[in-house]
Structure 1
Amino acid sequence: MAITKIHAINRSTKAAIKYIIDPLKTRNGELVEGIHCDVPTASFEFEMLADMSHRYNGNYERVGGRDVDGIRRHQSAKSYHLIQSFSPDDHVTPEEAHAIGVQLMRELLGNDYQFVIATHVDKDHIHNHIVFNAYSMMTLKKFRSQPYITANRIKEISNRLTAEHGLSVSLRRDEQLEKNGFVHEKDVHQSFRAELRRRLRFVASRATSPEMFDELCEQLEITTTKRGQDRGYRLPDQQRNIRDKSLSDIGSYTSEGIKTTTAENADDQLRLMALIDDVYGMCDSLDDLTFMLQQEHDVTLKRQRNGSYQFTFHDGTKMPAELLPPAYQLNYMNEHWHDPNALKTKVAAPDVLAEYQEQTKSKMTNTETLMDLSEDQVLSVDEKGALVQLEVPNEGQLTVHLNRYELRGDSDHLQVALQANYYYTLTDQSGKRPRAVSIRGEALIHAIDLDQGLNPELVKVPPQAVFGHSDKGLTITLPDAGYERVFIPNDAVNYDRLHQQYTVQIGSHWHYNATPFATLNDPEPKSVSLTGAALKPALKSTQPMLGRWLIANRQRQYMKAQQADVKRLSTMLGELRANHITDRQSLGRQVTTVKAQLHDVQQKIEMLHDKITNYNDLAKFIFTRNQYQPIIDKLEDVSPKEQHRLTKKYQHEINMYQTAVLHLQSRDFNPLLTNEEMASVITDQEKTLRSLEKSLKQQNIMVNKWKDIADLMDDLQGEPPQEEQEQQHHHDIER
């Protein structure tokens, strides 16, 4: 099993590299390697590239946030530390583990980042430590690390590489399965830390005092421990506390942070209660309350996307409606508008745990779909999982590793349980460099079906079921099935202008967003995911309920589609005439020509990419030499005593200068360029690259355009038949 972790280094890259290259852990340095940098001077080289980036791109490091215990939070990452640990049961060799680590970084970062990799063999399990620069050698911009997304991407790449080497992979749900034998319906990918943050954020939005904060924590099953001013939090089944300072960058859940937050909440609560008291007697509904607060006190009340309500004061202060006391809650006031004593009545506090669970219900739903895998799609299967290859629309042939807990059945009939809302990382190895592609589970479900030739069923939509049609898709209504609206994306919608009939592509495993009708028990229902298997019978059994407005709406859509087709045919005809294309052979040659031009531009970009990377690698040494040359010159012009003092003061700068000079000498490259001249070269290279990328974009458009023209020619030559064309022509004349 290969477990991966990543965290940012915002203090000392030098200390991190010093730790990972420890000779006692790496066979006296045999298992240490620097990529695009020399290991002894790697921390200096990282800093040189960062300084040069700040010089040319500007220094936009985060410096916001407030001080906590004298430490400024929100410090920017200087580098990143990635750990890849292998299971002792795999019996992997140190050399193989090291090679897998290098390949992991190549696929994650391409060839654009400096990194040092060290394989440790001092424990029972062999593991790689990798420290890579936060700044790209190609763009001089920072690596974008996204919470959870980056970690999942690293895990997926590592899983595929270890599977290719016959090793085990890290499992997403092993702890829960080993403990319970099943997976809970809540999001199986969430961690204790993430869930704890969600619950504490929920508590902090409702507490008006530190005591109330602790009470709400207890109701949400959060165990709180205090040691002096330090606090620790723990959820049920969690063995160790998580410190308050590690749950928030700005100290929101420390004792001091809680006092500040709850005091602000109390002030906002009293302020809003006084305004509601002032207008409550003039209100008979929630709309009245919204209007009166806006008119009298410039306070707005709006419903959020998650169904909750939020007040906004005239000064921009925002306050959730849940912060109000029970007697001022909107659902309670909605039932007591004509009761003058309603706001003074003592009302029982709501069940906070039930309220939290209801709010997160949509995140707690399991959306797994069981998919059959064909023999052609499965490359290999073992006790650790399966390596699957399939054709993904618009992406080509991709591979993905699925761990054994996602698999069902046996080798003769293999199935996989996919989560529609989870992101999977697939790999494209067709090019010069492996490319990682992240797609949603729903797109992977579509790809598996289409790769097996299981095309979606074409289902006619009854005219009375059409609610509306936009550029994004078709909205239908199914009252007999209990759904007010069901949305179908436009790429799955076809419209027959001749018969004025909508036809939609419905896959049995595919999911569609649906909104149920409101009921007394559920006046504000949340959207649900409806499978194609449930949608097809509902569509086929829809009863008539056609309105006049629907006829007019369909008529407008018909006219728009007709105009779009005429425009498309006119454009095609103009392109054929402009390029003197008169037959299919000349059209085929044109398509081949634009594809060759596209390939030529791609090769030029590859060559320029390597050129820029190599130039920036050398430029950082020249920049550092020029930056610190005045200090060296000053040392030569002062007395020995002053020289000793200045050397001690500028020791780091002198080390940086000496490192830069040694690297330039070792490469026999020491041009007397100024920083301004280097900036000019870098700017020119960036302009050339942008120009080529623009040409690449235009060339892609050209290729797609000529492919569309070729496809349209095929359609016109094949379908529809002559009789149908004449029938449609007469129909258009009549209209």
Structure 2
Amino acid sequence: MAVTKIHAIKSTLGKALAYIENPDKTDGQLLVSGYNCEPQTASVDFEMTAVLAHKVRNLKRKRSANLAYHLIQSFSPGDAVTPQQAHELGKKLAFEFGGGKYEYEVATHTDKGHIHNHILLNAVSFYDYKKLRTVPYRTAREIRAISDRLCMEAKLSVIENPQNIGRLYPAQTGKKRTVSNRTEIRKRLNFCLERAGNYGQFVAMAQELDITPTIRGKHMSYRLAGTGRAVRDDSLSDTDTFTYAGICARLADNAAEQTCLRGGIQKALGTAADMASFAKNLKAAGIETMLKKPNGLLLYRAAHMDGTWVPADALGAAFTAEGIDQTLKNGTPPAPAAEKPLLERYREWTVNYPEICETEVKLTGRQILSAGKNGLLLRVQDENGNAAKMMTNREQITTSPDGEVTLHIGRDFRYDLVYEDGTHGTIRGAALIRQIDDANGVQPLVVPLAENQVKAMSLRGVTITLPQQGIERLFVPESDVVRNPTAGQCAVRLYHHCQYSYLPTGDTGKRLQIQGDRLAHMLGVAVNPKAENTVFSRRIAAVEHRKGVENAKFLGKMLMGMADENLFTAADYDAAIGNLGKRQISLSNEIAALQEKKKGFAAIAKSLETCRTLKPLWQQYTALPLKEKSVFYTAHAAELQAYHSAAAKLEKAAVDQTVEAEKVIALAENLEQRIQALKEQRREAALQEQNTRREQQVIMQIQDESREDRRGGVNIVI
């Protein structure tokens, strides 16, 4: 297995490229490869893509913008990996992580006791000119998962004997059960970095949130009040986000963005009569807005500055949703004193993401594809039933000596999946838990409900209340509700390992989780006796009646559709489902072909921009006397090679250098519109296939019931 790392490069791209391309480390540069760039001219290629991106998107260059990302993939000395095999794995890792949309250079070093890859990935996409977004630690986990899976598929450090899995991951793996100090410090510092406009303001905000920043030599350290040792900057992020240089660069950008936004918003307010005209003025000024659903926080962004979203409270109380509303109604903004204290804002607007993998599920040979020392490769399906693979790291797994494997899953986590074609998707932890339980034949508990345990009942499901156990509201969806109107009974299916979200009693407002088997124990096993003409039985009957009406409407609509499509039996549906599957495959192939064509247009556009930028330098070189050319070439080797390579590519593609790059980019944008239209058609075909399968199941059920009725009729006659 390989160890992976990532960090951002802001100003030393040339030095980084020179280091990784060292012939003494790369077998005379035989182990150096580039994707959509030449190894000798990668710095110029990266720069030309960035220039095009800012022209296309009409953006200003930022001082703190990342130029590239440096990934390191180090293989264990115990792995039987050759330099060539390691190099291929590095290229696969770079391509998959960047989605084939970012230029990269891969160099495999063999000068140490272990083979390792250096990968430099452009921070800007040549395909759609978007920046590569990274998230501290989450991005590192994503890279590690891709690398581990690729290594396991290459049979590196794979446990061939399944019986050995029981000794691979001991039970004491230190599962994370609480929010770490680093996580809390990082959240609070990010909250400050989103709002501060200078270093002094940043320090004051951090202290207000109980964090003490200290500069210690080359590093900064942060201490959270009431905790132990201080935490160093490089242990908080994979990049330089929390270093002194990174903070200063971010704050300089914040100051420029906040000044720009304040002026634009005030100007938009000055001529606005209501919220609709204010929004129209903002759009005309190039200012985007977004409302965060979890906490209602208003965000602004200046589109022409390519900046991050700026919280409204960072601009002042007058720029929040309440402040804007007051200004429009009264004509005067709220006073600065109306602003809430920072700590109060932090508690109100910070989203608390799940940190604990609280659910344990047993894995069997049905799920495990292969095992390695860093984790397991699982066979799963996404939430639409499509086959995929999922890499789990060893921190999520415990085993017993007899080989029983337990996977720890967070119900509200999102897990990364990879499909056979190399594309990625995600699955929610709750769906993954249900899927594994279903595959292993785990049956849910069917628990009858008492009348006083049902707070509300509708076609969507049942809301349970257990105030004595601290549960105010807990919703169970209709798919897990079983009603018997004849007996006046209502029951729910509860899955042992499923975590159910509920609103506790009191005024906390914070939702909690409870596991299915514990909830079943709280509800008890008391069966509702048959009770005619009771309120509860009438409620059950009313819901069942509404459900019957809805089913009748669905059946009528389905029968009309069957007549239109000439579908009359379950067998007819097989052909229809097969045709829809073929259509999705055909659309996927067409999309892939257009994407490759768009990549070709993007390469031509970059070559045109390179020639336009560097042609004067090339002409200067060709006009020099022969004795001066050598010195000039040595000083400008990368630029001259980049021009020569770009000119050769244009000549091969039969494109004249006088063609404007913007015209080629416009062609690429037209292709993208076609790609998006095809993706929408594919999505509709997938939805139609799901509906067709559902209708087929209804038809099969009707046919089965009809057979049962005929059998019953024959028996009566006899």
- TM-score of the alignment, normalized to the shorter chain, above 0.5: yes
Identity percentage of aligned residues: 27
Letter in 1 for 2:447: V
Corresponding letter in the other structure for 1:128? N
Q: Does 1:531 align with 2:520?
A: no
Distance, in Å, in 1 between the alignment partners of 2:581 and 2:409 is: 36
Q: Counterpart in 1 of 2:177? A: 185
- Cα 1:650–1:570 shift into 2, 3 Å: farther
Q: Equivalent residue for 1:540?
A: 524
Distance 1:562 1:137, change over 3 A: farther
2: distance between equivalents of 1:675 and 1:202? 40
Please tell me whether residue 573 in structure 1 is matched to residue 559 in structure 2.
yes
Task: Name which of 425, 428, 432 aligns with 1:437.
Answer: 425
Q: Which amino acid in 2 is paired with 1:537?
A: H
User: Residues of 2 paired with 1:662 and 1:191: CA distance?
Assistant: 55
Paired position in structure 2 for 1:610:
596
Q: Distance in 1 between matches of 2:204 and 2:678?
A: 59
* Structure 1 counterpart of 2:86, one-letter code: A
Verify the 8 A CA contact 1:377 1:389 in the aligned structure 2: yes
Contact 2:208 2:343 in 1 (8 A): no
Map Cα deviations across residues 420-479 of structure 1 (whole Å, 9 max, x no partner): 3444333333xxx22333334333222211111224233344443222357875421123
Distance (Å, rounded) in 2 between the aligned partners of 1:370 and 1:571:
42
Question: How do residues 300-699 of structure 1 correspond to structure 2 at under 5 angstroms?
Answer: 315=333, 319-320=339-340, 366-381=356-371, 384-405=374-395, 406-429=397-420, 433-468=421-456, 474-493=462-481, 502-518=490-506, 524=508, 526-541=510-525, 557-558=543-544, 561-626=547-612, 657-665=643-651, 667=652, 669-671=654-656, 673-675=659-661, 677-699=663-685
Map of 2:22 onto structure 1:
22
Runs (5+) with no aligned partner, structure 1: 64-71, 170-176, 262-302, 325-354, 725-735
The alpha-carbon distance between structure 1 residues 21 and 632, as it changes in their structure 2 partners (threshold 3 A), is closer
Structure 2 CA distance, aligned partners of 1:223 and 1:120? 41
Counterpart residue identity of residue 685, structure 1: L
Change in Cα spacing, 1:477 to 1:608, as seen in structure 2 (3 Å) is: same
Amino acid of the residue matched to residue 59 of structure 1? N
Residues 224 and 51 from structure 1, CA distance in 2 versus in 1: closer, same or farther, beyond 3 angstroms? Answer: closer
Distance in 1 (CA, whole Å) between partners of 2:594 and 2:693 is 28
The number of equivalent residue pairs is 610
Could you say what secondary structure the match of 2:432 adopts? helix
Amino acid at match of 1:536: A
User: Paired residue for 1:264?
Assistant: none
Contact 2:21 2:32 in 1 (8 A): yes
The one-letter amino acid paired with 1:595 is G
The residue aligned with 1:117 is 106
Structure-2 separation of matches of 1:536 and 1:478: 12
CA distance 1:512–1:147, change in 2 (3 Å): same
Distance in 2 separating the partners of 1:416 and 1:486: 26
State the secondary structure of the residue aligned to 2:514. strand
Q: Matches of 2:638 and 2:108 in 1, distance apart?
A: 29
Specify whether residues 466 and 117 from structure 1 end up closer, same or farther in structure 2 by C-alpha distance, changes over 3 A only: same
Q: Deviations over 1:252-303 (max 9, x none)?
A: 988x99xx99xxxxxxxxxxxxxxxxxxxxxxxxxxxxxxxxxxxxxxxxx9
Question: 1:160 aligned to 128, 149, 152, which one?
Answer: 149
Q: Which amino acid aligns with 1:614?
A: G
Deviation at 1:684, TM superposition (A): 3.3
Deviation at 1:601, TM superposition (A): 1.9
Shift of 1:534: 0.6
SS in 2 for 1:372: strand
Distance across 1 between alignment mates of 2:636 and 2:58:
22
The 1:627/1:471 distance shift into structure 2, 3 A limit, reads: farther
1:166 Cα offset (Å): 4.8
2:95 to 106, 109, 112: 106
CA contact 2:605–2:661 (8 Å) conserved in 1 = no
The one-letter code sitting in structure 2 at the alignment partner of 1:185 is: R
**Residues 466 and 550 in structure 1, CA contact (< 8 A), matched pair in contact too:** no
2:377 touches 2:390 (CA, 8 Å); kept in 1? yes
Q: Assess if the C-alpha contact under 8 Å between 1:442 and 1:510 holds in 2.
A: yes
TM-score by length of 2: 0.70
- What amino acid is the match of 1:424? Y
Equivalence map 1:244-283=2 (5 Å): 248=242
Distance 1:164 1:215 in 2: 48
Contact 2:382–2:426 under 8 Å retained in 1 = no
Deviation of 1:668 after TM superposition, in Å, equals 5.8
1:703 equivalenced with 2:651 (yes/no): no
Residue 599 to residue 498, structure 1, CA distance change in 2 (3 Å) = farther
2:57 matches 1:58: yes
**Following TM superposition, by how much is the alpha carbon of 1:374 offset from its aligned partner in structure 2, in angstroms?**
1.8
> Aligned to 1:88, what secondary structure does the other structure show?
coil
CA pair 705-33 structure 1, distance change in 2 beyond 3 A: same
Per-residue deviation, residues 70-91 of structure 1 (Å, max 9, x unmatched): xx5xx33333221222333446
Question: Runs of 5+ in structure 2 lacking a partner?
Answer: 159-168, 195-199, 256-293, 298-312, 327-332, 711-718
**Which of these two proteins has the greater Rg computed from alpha carbons?**
1
Structure 2 CA distance for partners of 1:18 and 1:550, relative to 1, 3 Å: farther
Deviation at 1:713, TM superposition (A): 0.9
Q: Is 2:415–2:427's contact at 8 Å kept on the other side of the alignment?
A: yes
2: CA distance, partners of 1:117 / 1:604: 30
Q: What SS does structure 1 have at the residue aligned with 2:139?
A: helix
When the two chains are superposed, the root-mean-square deviation of aligned CA atoms in Å is 5.2
Q: Match of 1:410, as an amino acid?
A: P
Secondary structure of the residue aligned to 2:33 is strand
Deviations 1:503-560 (A, max 9, x none): 4331101100123323xxxx6374321000111122235799x999988976775565
SS at match of 2:388: strand
Helix, strand or coil at the partner of 2:463: strand
8 A contact 1:428–1:435 mirrored in 2: yes
Higher relative contact order (Cα pairs below 8 Å, separated by 6+ residues): 2
Query: Counterparts of 1:86-105 in structure 2 under 5 Å?
Result: 86-90=75-79, 92-105=81-94
What's the secondary structure of 1:512's corresponding residue? strand
